[in-house]
């Protein structure tokens, strides 16, 4: 049915509880997937900046393999391998693990970039004070890198939420899957355009504020860094003027 068909919109509104239930499943899947992604991101991010070549190599293999294969392929592989081996853990848990592993690779790159953005002098100063690697990261390096890490990390959260739509491939109960079931149902079918527009609006309402937050955050950090650079460059000139006087 057409986008401007009032009956189709009325049908979508009548079944709004189903769409909200799908949104709840999407939110739960994204939340668990995000926790796993953060855990993997921290582990492999620290490994990728480790002084041990073996750890850096393992982290690099993980990141390159995961980032260069589609999340849909990873999702289907995990689901069907577990299903045919008789160890199925269910569609939602499969989705949570797949999304967590996939976005964990991107999170680790964000953390690696944040750590490597810290001046080497900070690392040398920490070592000279007798800090171990873990102590140096926990007390000195990571607190300084958080402001650099958070904006791109928020973008990864947005991408993770959108990628929950991949659960539709294996028959999940997420928002996209609920929308598909609605438009193909015996009693609800036909309202294709309104249903998918409503689905898109719900995703937009969830994702747009997060994207805006990340952009505003990044802009604020750049302005702050520029002010610090300007202050650092003008200070020597002021000191020279005072010396002349």
CA gap 148, 94 in Å, rounded = 31
Q: Torsion over CA of 18, 22, 27 and 29, rounded to 10 degrees?
A: 150
> What's the pLDDT tens digit per position in 144-163?
888 788 888 888 999 999 99
Among 83, 78, 99, 90, which residue's Cα sits nearest to residue 30?
Answer: 99
The residue with tokens 């539709």 is: 168
Confidence (pLDDT) at 204: 94
> What's the pLDDT tens digit per position in 218-228?
788 777 767 76
Instruction: Work out the average pLDDT over 102-121.
Output: 91
Confidence (pLDDT) at 2: 65
pTM score, whole prediction: 0.83
Instruction: Work out the average pLDDT over 31-46.
Output: 94
Confidence (pLDDT) at 221: 72
Confidence (pLDDT) at 238: 56
CA gap 76, 31 in Å, rounded = 20
With left for phi above 0 and alpha for psi between -120 and 50, is residue 147 left, alpha or beta?
A: alpha
Q: For all residues of the chain together, what is the average pLDDT?
A: 85
Among 144, 115, 139, which residue's Cα sits nearest to residue 126?
Answer: 139
Task: Using pLDDT thresholds of 50, 70 and 90, give the confidence band for residue 133.
Answer: confident
């Amino acid at each position: 049915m057409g986008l401007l068909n009032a009956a189709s919109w009325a049908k979508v509104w009548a079944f709004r509880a189903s769409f909200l239930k799908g949104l709840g499943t999407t939110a739960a899947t994204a939340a668990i997937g995000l926790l796993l992604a953060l855990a993997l991101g921290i582990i492999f991010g620290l490994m990728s900046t480790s002084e041990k070549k073996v750890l850096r190599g393992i982290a690099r293999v993980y990141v390159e393999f995961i980032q260069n294969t589609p999340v849909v392929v990873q999702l289907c592989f995990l689901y069907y391998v577990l299903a045919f081996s008789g160890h199925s853990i269910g569609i939602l848990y499969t989705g949570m693990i797949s999304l967590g592993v996939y976005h964990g690779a991107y999170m680790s790159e964000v953390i690696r970039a944040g750590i490597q953005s810290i001046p080497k002098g900070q690392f040398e100063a920490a070592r000279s004070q007798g800090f171990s690697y873990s102590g140096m990261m926990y007390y000195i390096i990571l607190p300084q890198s958080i402001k650099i890490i958070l904006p791109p990390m928020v973008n990864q959260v947005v991408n993770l939420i959108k990628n929950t739509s991949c659960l539709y491939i294996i028959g999940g109960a997420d928002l996209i899957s609920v929308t598909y079931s609605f438009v193909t149902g015996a009693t609800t079918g036909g309202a294709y355009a309104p249903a998918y527009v409503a689905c898109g609006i719900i995703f937009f309402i969830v994702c747009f504020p997060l994207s805006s937050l990340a952009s505003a955050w990044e802009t604020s950090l750049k302005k702050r860094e520029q002010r610090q650079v300007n202050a650092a460059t003008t200070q020597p000139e002021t000191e020279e003027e005072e010396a002349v006087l």
